[in-house]
């Protein structure tokens, strides 16, 4: 997730990380991680949230921009079997989410031109 | 249903290949490699299985579904040394294609009763390790890509170098970077050799040979 400051809205944090800030903590699937101080009304303190979820922050001071990495909670690429649902685009630029295919089995295949 | 995602920073690089296949399934493009971090894709082809309820029943793993003809090809004599070495390395790639294809068909036929379906705990446990270095590599790659788009290609390089250093077994970070610097601007296809270059410390052939072959980068399905 790309940021120009270390605070963001709940909606943007959820969209960017898949973790939804709630009063009880940072939640994804069946997992909620307590994160006192991370949420103030609609504002997420990214530094606190990142520490709780084990998300590294990489910065380019020259360009005033940060990247928030994925969670390392549990030491695995997945913290839950609930499928991530980031927004992708089709080749014509239309938005696409895997959740639009609920009710069907999906084999989600990564490939590349290189 | 099959959904394909191209991990390509430029959709125009992937589009011709996708269109040539005349797909009848959804085809999407992931220009930031976000799906790599989200699902654990570190090479291609890899796949996950998602059931009707949106639950992963197999984590990211190598997803070839047929034996490549390159595996059985005799390497012609007289080819350039680096091409010969590459073809020999390709012939040694572990081949689980037929078994993986059969597993998919078994899941289609038997659903949650398929012996290849894993419990949620097994899916998480079998997903790829992710330590701080690997997560930091994902952030560095994303930041490099952001700067490539907003500042220029050179701005990506230090961050992509760092991503390569932090997660040396992630071949998508490397191949994406290499191919952008070794493919001529007017080329109609990517440089698949991704050969030595003056921008990054490594290149495809040397990296593969240095790690004992492509197998070092492949997450073989445990079927």
CB A49 within 8 A of CB A101: no
Task: Name all contacts of B193-196 with Cβ < 8 Å and 24+ positions apart.
Answer: B193/B82, B193/B83, B193/B86, B194/A114, B195/B82
Chain B contact for A63 (CB, 8 A cutoff)? yes
Q: Are A28 and A20 in contact (CB under 8 A)?
A: yes
Range with the poorest average pLDDT among B43-47, B179-183, B190-194: B190-194
As a whole number of angstroms, the distance between CA A96 and CA A7 comes to 27
Of B6, B107, B124, the CB nearest to A112: B6
User: Is the CB of residue B74 less than 8 Å from the CB of residue B84?
Assistant: no
Among A23-27, B110-114, B141-145, where is mean pLDDT lowest?
A23-27
Peptide bond into B45 cis (omega under 30): yes
Label residues A18-43 b or e (16+ Cβ within 10 Å = b). bbebeeebbbbbeeebebeebbeeee
Whether B47 and A110 have beta carbons less than 8 Å apart is answered as yes
* Mutation site, B135, B161, B170, B187, interface A, largest A CB count within 10 A: B135
Highest mean pLDDT among B74-83, B102-111, B201-210: B102-111
Q: How far is A86 from chain B (nearest CA, A)?
A: 8
ipTM value, please give it: 0.95
What's the predicted TM-score (pTM) here?
A: 0.94
Q: Residue B143: what pLDDT?
A: 98
Where does the pLDDT of residue B204 fall: very low under 50, low under 70, confident under 90, or very high at 90 and above? very high
**How many other CB atoms are found less than 10 A from the CB of residue A101?**
17
- Are B128 and A77 in contact (CB < 8 Å)? yes
What pLDDT is recorded for position B122? Answer: 98
Mean pLDDT for B106-133 is 97
From B161's Cα to the closest Cα of chain A, the distance in A is 13
Q: In what order do the strands lie in the sheet with A43-45?
A: A7-9, A43-45, A39-40
CB contact under 8 A, B35 and A99: no
pLDDT, residue B179, reads 92
pLDDT over 80 at B58, yes or no: yes
pLDDT at B188 > cutoff 80: no
Mapping DSSP onto H, E and C, the string for chain A reads: CEECCCEEEHHHHHHHHCCEEECCEEEECCEEECCCCCEECCEEEHHHHHHHHCCCEEEECCCCEEEECCCCHHHECCCCCECCCCCEEECCCCEECHHHHCCCCEEEEEECCC
Residue B196 has pLDDT above 80, yes or no: yes
Point out the least confidently predicted range of B62-76, B105-119, B186-200. B186-200
Percentage of chain B with pLDDT > 70? 100
Taking CB atoms and an 8 Å cutoff, what residues of chain B touch A105? 1, 49-52, 107-108, 111
Cβ distance B50 to A63 less than 8 Å, yes or no, reads no
Strand pairing partners for A7? Answer: A45
Calpha distance A90→B14 (Å, rounded): 11
- Judged by CB atoms closer than 8 Å, whether chains meet at A110 and B45 is answered as yes
Q: What are the 10-residue block averages of pLDDT along chain A, 114 residues in total? A: 97 95 91 94 96 98 97 94 93 94 98 93
Burial class (CB in 10 A: 0-12, 13-18, 19+), A16: middle
Judging contacts by C-beta atoms under 8 Å, the chain B residues touching residue A101 are 1, 3, 26, 50
Chain A residue with CA closest to B58: the answer is: A81
Exposure string (b/e) for B37-52, b if CB count within 10 Å is 16 or more? Answer: bbbbbbbbbbbbbbbe
Task: Find the Cα–Cα–Cα–Cα dihedral B85, B86, B89, B93, rounded to 10°.
Answer: -170
Interface with B, mutate which of A2, A50, A62, A112 (most B CBs under 10 A): A112
Residue B206's pLDDT is 94
Is the pLDDT reported for residue B68 higher than 90?
A: no
Residues facing residue B177 across a β-bridge: none
Contact yes or no for A114 and B13 at CB 8 A: yes
Q: How close does chain A come to B78, measured CA to CA in Å? A: 25
Residue B84 has pLDDT above 80, yes or no: yes
Minimal Cα distance from A63: which residue of B? B147
pLDDT for residue A23: 87
Which residues on B lie below 8 Å from A76 (Cβ)? 124-125, 127-130
pLDDT reading at B184 higher than 90:
no
The pLDDT mean for chain B works out to 94
Q: How confident is the model at residue B191 (pLDDT cuts 50, 70, 90)?
A: confident
């Amino acid at each position: 997730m790309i940021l120009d400051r270390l605070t963001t809205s709940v909606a943007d944090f959820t969209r960017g990380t898949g973790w939804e800030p709630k009063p009880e903590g940072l939640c994804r699937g069946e997992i909620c991680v307590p994160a006192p101080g991370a949420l103030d009304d609609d504002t997420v303190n990214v530094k606190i949230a990142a520490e709780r979820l084990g998300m590294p922050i990489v910065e380019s001071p020259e360009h005033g921009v940060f990247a928030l990495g994925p969670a390392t909670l549990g030491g695995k690429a997945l913290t839950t079997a609930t499928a991530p649902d980031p927004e992708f685009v089709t080749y014509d630029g239309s938005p696409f989410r895997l959740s639009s295919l609920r009710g069907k089995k999906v084999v989600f295949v990564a490939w590349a031109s290189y | 249903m099959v959904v394909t995602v191209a991990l390509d920073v430029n959709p125009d690089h992937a589009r011709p290949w996708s269109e040539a296949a005349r797909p009848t399934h959804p085809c999407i493009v992931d220009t930031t490699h976000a799906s790599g971090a989200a699902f654990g894709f570190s090479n291609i082809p890899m796949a996950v299985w998602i059931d009707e309820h949106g639950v992963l029943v197999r984590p990211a793993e190598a997803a070839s579904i047929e034996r490549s003809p390159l595996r059985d090809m005799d390497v012609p004599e007289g080819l350039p040394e680096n091409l010969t070495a590459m073809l020999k390395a390709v012939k040694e790639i572990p081949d689980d294609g037929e078994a993986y294809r059969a597993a998919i068909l078994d899941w289609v036929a038997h659903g949650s009763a398929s012996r290849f379906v894993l419990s949620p705990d097994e899916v998480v446990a079998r997903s790829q390790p992710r330590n701080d270095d690997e997560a930091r590599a994902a952030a560095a790659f994303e930041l490099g890509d952001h700067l490539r788009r907003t500042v220029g290609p050179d701005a990506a390089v230090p961050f992509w170098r760092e991503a390569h250093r932090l997660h040396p077994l992630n071949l998508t970070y490397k191949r994406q970077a290499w191919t952008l610097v070794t493919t001529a601007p007017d080329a109609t296809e990517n440089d698949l050799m991704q050969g030595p270059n003056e921008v990054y410390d490594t290149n495809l052939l040397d990296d593969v040979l240095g790690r004992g072959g492509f197998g070092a980068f492949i997450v073989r399905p445990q079927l």
